[in-house]
Structure 1
């Protein structure tokens, strides 16, 4: 290969990485915007209505791609594992938005940032993967960050916080299952998650139903469209640039959670939440870099859809 060709290839790779980073940052902003929209809507409407109408809008947006790739849906690998994945995905999304009814957005996001730590711990306990003392140390430090953010005492440990942590654990198991379903096309993974959320929302919606006006319907639709746009951006980002380059930028979600929480809801996160989030992010990044060095570099944070 000539020197000019090598320079051109290097420039192309650099441009792809920059574009990938930009798309990752955009996706995290969109995911955070969708979370803020969801929290705003559940102040008036039930979580079931949010899940149903948001997922319905998302499925409408995805319908052209679902139709285009419809043949892949009849050849699903390990269908029972796919079903379990959809169930866990539905539970964790419901837990996330239920927790936001009672907790600031930054608090719920902080608990979900612990997902990579849970994934690594569960990989060692459930999948019997080899985890050395360095990563076990990072896991313990990360759990300390969770405890600092949780501020455990008889007065402060609440069931909404437990719901958020339970959702984060569901998300961790979901990531482990997704890891074993690498051959499944992205459109199946995404559309099945939205379909599960749609089904649960349809079952829950009659309880506490509040008839939405046109403006509210527009916000529900916007939440679904934002979620799909964010998902497409993050998938494209991971195709343009290595996960090791773009994944650390996913932790910017805590910044957006704090900003949206303050601007929209007037929430000011306590020092303990900020300190806990910083510890969790540091532990998660160490785990990610360690797994990358061991040849298992995966996206340690993948925001819920």
Structure 2
């Protein structure tokens, strides 16, 4: 018999794998950029390189028949928002050190709370709004506006990427009732080719074999991370797996030090725990309310 623990432990393992994969992808992006790869190339290979991995995953698992869809319009919208988020995220990785870029991504739960209240009309009371304010205070500590510690453009692209990533979460939540996770991932990569192929051809640049290998690896590693993340969510609640994401700061710090000789500044060490605490509290609060609803308790705003 399968117990809850039998599902939770693999879910945590999958999520940790996804965090490592995305951190590795970020390091490869910066290495490829140093060797002359541009933003359009990075985006193209991230999506094109992931398609064979996704198709292989589906073929060996639920079967290619599951890729049929009646909601191509929803997939197109998810692609537009998701590709915009990815573009800003990649730009942030090029503009900022790995640790700082990763820290700004931790604001996704904060933006998800705001969007949940505004778009989905979810009851959001003083506890979660207080967590949102605390999280943005942490962002101010990290960014130190006006000090030059972090370029304003890098901070803007990082927060924009997090906001759009939270928007993607809302879209996927709505699509999840009819579309399997692997199908959503597949159409995101496939539809991304429409704008990315012309952009890649327009900006094509010759590279050495090592750089081409990095570009291909970005797509493959990114696909592994996305599929592992999706699998984790299918095995355990969000509140169980999302806290694992914060281990990404450790990998980003390690890669930044080992590959680029850069360590996070004092402001990042001071602000990151504030942002992490805000995100963890939001996740914990949502789980607590969900349990209360499951027990048929009167609906309350937090």
Where on the TM-score scale, by shorter chain, does this alignment land: which range?
0.7 to 0.9
Supply the distance in 2 between the matched residues of 1:237 and 1:123 (Cα, whole angstroms). 22
Is this contact kept in 2: 1:31–1:230, CA < 8 A?
Answer: yes
**Structure 2 vs 1, CA of residues 109 and 296 (structure 1 numbering), >3 Å: closer, same or farther?**
farther
Aligned twin of 1:159: 153
**Structure 2 vs 1, CA of residues 276 and 242 (structure 1 numbering), >3 Å: closer, same or farther?**
same
Aligned 1:1-305 pairs, distance under 5 A: 9=1, 13-43=4-34, 44-65=36-57, 69-77=63-71, 79-153=72-146, 155-156=148-149, 157-183=151-177, 184-295=179-290
58-67 or 87-96, which deviates more: 58-67
1:240-264 Cα distance to aligned partner (Å, 9 max, x none): 4443333211211111111111111
Is this contact kept in 1: 2:108–2:163, CA < 8 A?
Answer: yes
Cα distance, 1:194 vs. partner?
1.8
Instruction: Compute the TM-score of the two structures, normalised by the length of structure 1.
Output: 0.85
Secondary structure of 1:294's match? Answer: helix
The gaps in structure 1 that reach 5 residues or longer are 1-8, 298-305
Secondary structure of 1:131's match? Answer: coil
Secondary structure of 1:201's match? Answer: helix
Is this contact kept in 1: 2:53–2:224, CA < 8 A?
Answer: no
Supply the distance in 1 between the matched residues of 2:69 and 2:236 (Cα, whole angstroms). 29
**Structure 2 vs 1, CA of residues 212 and 66 (structure 1 numbering), >3 Å: closer, same or farther?**
farther
Supply the distance in 1 between the matched residues of 2:52 and 2:208 (Cα, whole angstroms). 20
Supply the distance in 1 between the matched residues of 2:112 and 2:236 (Cα, whole angstroms). 23
Supply the distance in 2 between the matched residues of 1:294 and 1:96 (Cα, whole angstroms). 31
Is this contact kept in 1: 2:182–2:227, CA < 8 A?
Answer: no
**Structure 2 vs 1, CA of residues 273 and 154 (structure 1 numbering), >3 Å: closer, same or farther?**
closer
Cα distance, 1:153 vs. partner?
1.2
| Cα RMSD (Å) | 2.3
Instruction: Compute the TM-score of the two structures, normalised by the length of structure 2.
Output: 0.86
Cα distance, 1:65 vs. partner?
4.8
Cα distance, 1:231 vs. partner?
2.3
Supply the distance in 2 between the matched residues of 1:241 and 1:257 (Cα, whole angstroms). 25
Secondary structure of 2:175's match? Answer: coil
Aligned length: 287
Supply the distance in 2 between the matched residues of 1:85 and 1:239 (Cα, whole angstroms). 19
253-262 or 149-158, which deviates more: 149-158
Supply the distance in 2 between the matched residues of 1:147 and 1:27 (Cα, whole angstroms). 28
Cα distance, 1:210 vs. partner?
1.8
**Structure 2 vs 1, CA of residues 296 and 170 (structure 1 numbering), >3 Å: closer, same or farther?**
farther
Cα distance, 1:92 vs. partner?
1.0
